[in-house]
Structure 1
């Protein structure tokens, strides 16, 4: 009995901040089906069920991680100063912002409860992460697409922020995210081409390359309510990275399961949403075909990821010391 209790305590101690990536993935899936119901005639019930599941998941993970903070504060501080894991703390604020998007249409008050603290927390994490990079020498081998999460995540703030803040405030976050997307992409491309390949467990984060232009496109259309040349550039860049990842599919099919597999879901869902939005704006038939394809692909991917997560939870492979 004592041994079992010790194992459970160790599991809590090693409960990773990356678990919030599951909320990001489920949030992306939820928003995708909400928009599919709005624009493509899907059943609204799917989005409502997913909304409840995603909210519950966020609550459960938050309770567990807060408990970890109270019992193993040193372990949390260690994660917060880790050159790779520090980037995943922004998954907390991004999860809150995505929940704000989920609730914005029908429950704006609930959306506001998520958006204001989520935006404030993300502002802090952006400043903290950049300060951390400046004050500590970073190894190039530590760089991976997860670096996009705390900085480029700023482009997500305007998506649910219309009506909650002025256009000037929303453009501040949008500008910050777009600027650092270009900078960080240049750094990552240099690392990927001219230096050592990423560790296998970080390969799924390559999917994150799709997210900045896809979410940037959605945010831009939300702010200006128009699809102009810049919006088209963002959408086409997201499309390019989607094609690139699809072309490199062999790089991903034999990767051993890590919790980073959840990085597959959110970017693909974001591309599905941006495709539906572009179709809604242009009524271009190939975009409708692409939208259905992305919805199906996202659904298949998350089914596989959820299945693998449950299997490895049962085996006790998650929440263990690396």
Structure 2
């Protein structure tokens, strides 16, 4: 009995902040199906079910992590100062911002609660993360596409923020996200090409490369309501990275399961939503086929990732010391 209690306590101690990537994945899938209801005439019950699931998972993970904070403060502090894990704390605020988008058309008061809390937290985490990078020497080996999460996550703010904040505020977050996307991508591309390959556990984070242009496209269209040259550039870059990841499929087939697998889902969902938004504006048949393809691929990927997560949880291979 004591041994099992010790194991449970250790699992709580090693409960990773990366678990919020699950919420990001489920929320992205929810928004994609919400868009599919209006664009592709999908049944609404799927989106409603996913909305409930995303919310429940967010609440459960948040409760567990709060308990961990009060029980193992040193463990949380260690994560918050870890050169890699620090980037995943922004997954908390991004989860809130995504849930704000999920609820925007259903319950605006709930959406506002998530959005204002998410913006405040993400504003702090952006400044904290950049300050951490400036005040601490960073090793090139620690760099990976997860670096994009806390900074480029700013472009997500305008999507749910229309109606909640002035255009100038939304443009501030959009500008910060786009600016640092270019800078960080250059750093990461240099690291990937000229230095050691990414560790297997970080290979799924390559999917994050799809997210900045895809989310940037959605934010730009949401703010200005037009598909102009800049919007087309963002969409085409998102499409390019999606095709590149598909071309690299062999890199992902045999890698061992890690919670970082959830990094597969959100970027694919963002690309699917972008394709549907572009189709709604242009009625291009290629974009219609692309929309159906992205919905199918994202659904299949999340089914595999969810299954693997549950299997490894049952085996006790999640929330262990690395």
Query: What range describes the TM-score normalised by the shorter chain of this pair?
Result: over 0.9
Cα offset, 1:248, TM superposition: 0.5
1:201 deviates by 0.2
1-structure distance, mates of 2:317, 2:3: 17
Runs of 4+ in 1 over 4 A off after TM superposition: none
Tell me the equivalent position of 2:136.
Answer: 136
Q: How far off its partner does 1:199 sit?
A: 0.3
Give the structure 1 partner of residue 67 of structure 2.
Answer: 67
| Cα distance in 1 for residues equivalent to 2:194 and 2:110 | 47
Residue aligned with 2:148, SS: helix
**Residue number in structure 1 paired with 2:120:** 120
Superimposed CA distance per residue, residues 234-286 of structure 1 (whole angstroms, 9 cap, x where no aligned partner):
00000000000000000000000000000000000000000000000111010
What is the deviation of 1:298?
0.2
What is the TM-score with the length of structure 1 in the denominator? 1.00
Superposed CA deviations along residues 202-258 of structure 1, whole A, max 9, x for unmatched, are 000000000000000000000000000000000000000000000000000000000
Residues 14-35 of structure 1, C-alpha deviation per residue, up to 9 Å, x if partnerless?
0000000000000000000000
Alignment partner, residue 154 of structure 2 = 154
Counterpart-to-counterpart distance in 1, 2:231 and 2:308: 36
CA–CA distance in structure 2, aligned partners of residues 282 and 144 of structure 1 = 35
Q: Distance in 2 between matches of 1:145 and 1:40?
A: 32
1:44 matches 2:44: yes
In structure 1, the residue matched to 2:267 is 267
SS in structure 2 of the partner of residue 177 of structure 1: helix
CA distance in structure 2 between the partners assigned to 1:169 and 1:214 by the alignment: 21
Partner of 2:253, secondary structure, is coil
- What is the aligned partner in structure 2 of residue 27 from structure 1? 27
Matches of 1:40 and 1:110 in 2, distance apart?
Answer: 26
- 1:189, 1:212 → 2: CA distance? 15
Q: Secondary structure at the match of 2:76?
A: helix
Output the CA distance in 2 between the equivalents of 1:3 and 1:255: 32
Which residue is 1:234 aligned to?
234
Q: Structure 1 regions of 5+ residues with no counterpart?
A: none
Distance in 1 separating the partners of 2:39 and 2:281: 10
**2:279: which partner in 1?**
279
Matching of residues 175-186 of structure 1 within 5 Å: 175-186=175-186
Q: Secondary structure at the match of 1:238?
A: helix
- CA positional deviation for 1:38: 1.2
1:130 & 1:299 partners in 2: Cα distance?
34
Report the TM-score, using the length of structure 2 for normalisation: 1.00
Aligned to 2:97: 97
Shift of 1:106: 1.7
Q: CA deviation at 1:56?
A: 0.3
Equivalents in 2 of 1:52, 1:307: separation in Å?
19
Aligned residue number for residue 210 of structure 1: 210
| SS, match of residue 165 in structure 1 | coil
After TM superposition, give the deviation of residue 39 of structure 1 in Å. Answer: 1.1
In 1, Cα distance between equivalents of 2:9 and 2:316: 13
1:220 aligns with 2:220: yes
How far apart in 2 are the matches of 1:300 and 1:253? 14
Partner of 2:14: 14
Aligned residues: 322
Per-residue Cα deviation, 1:138-188 (whole angstroms, up to 9, x for no partner): 000100000000000000000000000000000000000000000000000
SS for the counterpart of 2:61 is helix
Say yes or no: does 1:290 pair with 2:277.
no
User: Do structure 1's residue 191 and structure 2's residue 191 form an aligned pair?
Assistant: yes
Q: Distance in 2 between matches of 1:3 and 1:50?
A: 37
Who is 2:255 aligned against? 255
